[in-house]
Amino acid sequence: MRSEYYLYFTVFIAGMTSLAAEFTAERILARVFGTSNLVWSAIIGVILVCLSIGYYLGGRWADRSPRHETLFGILAASAVLLGIVPFISNPILVAAAAAFDQLQLGIVGGAFAAVLILFSVPSTLLAMASPYPMFVLVSSAQAPLMILGIALAVVCMASFYAVIAGYVSGMFETRVRYTAISLAYQVCGAVAGGLTPLIGTWLAHRFLGQWWPMALFYSLIAAVSLLCVLALARRHAAAHRLEMASHA
């Protein structure tokens, strides 16, 4: 039982490290690309995709090799890759900025490429740690532990809520900001948050024993979220150009 506590503590630290890596990415990219919402869009997009891939790979790996040695090996590799980021970031940032400036993709393309190169692999490896305690808890067949295991499965939402307030606040004018953010959040929570579990339950019963309908459903949700983030980034860029033109 004590070894399981060590396992939970390890995964807790891994989750904190993934959030720290996200904020570190922002500080590293700020030296070349600044701290605009466009940069945050690239960071959030890449990190969330890497987390999704890591959870999937970690679940399959935990199912096939549920050993502590495997988990600690994954975390050690992630630690090494994160440790070398400060030493290799400068040439990568400069090269990404120059390359995407020539392609006229500007800040978004350069920041996206930089985050992808520097943080995609370690973030994916960190995310792979989360399924291990979840599998242990769910397989225990005890209701309280199963609930705790499922709760651990959705802990990745912390990385979303950690930055959403600062990100969306720049999308609206000051006079309507509070109302707009609250209205968008509550409507989405009621519609998407209410319908998603219903649709998921229906798919699980309709396609019993098949994994691809659920995977397709959640991939569609992720695609819609990505399109919304890109649309918000374009809206912010247009507003920024108008603001610069008014000051010129």
- The C-alpha atoms of residue 38 and residue 45 are separated, in whole angstroms, by 11
pLDDT score at 117: 80
- Comparing 8 with 88, the larger pLDDT belongs to 88
Instruction: List pLDDT tens digits, range 125-171.
Output: 887 777 776 666 666 666 776 676 666 666 656 666 666 766 677 77
Burial 43-71 (b: 16+ CB within 10 A, else e): bbbbbbbbbbebbebbbebbeeeeeeebb
pLDDT in tens, 17-38: 887 888 888 888 887 777 776 7
Rounded to the nearest integer, the mean pLDDT of the chain is: 75
How far is the C-alpha of 9 from the C-alpha of 132, rounded, in Å? 12
- Cα–Cα distance between 12 and 148 in angstroms, integer? 13
Q: Supply the pTM of this predicted model.
A: 0.57
Task: With beta carbons less than 8 A apart as the criterion, state whether 82 and 122 touch.
Answer: yes
Residue 127: count of CB within 10 angstroms of its CB: 27
- For the chain, what are the domain ranges? 1-165, 172-248
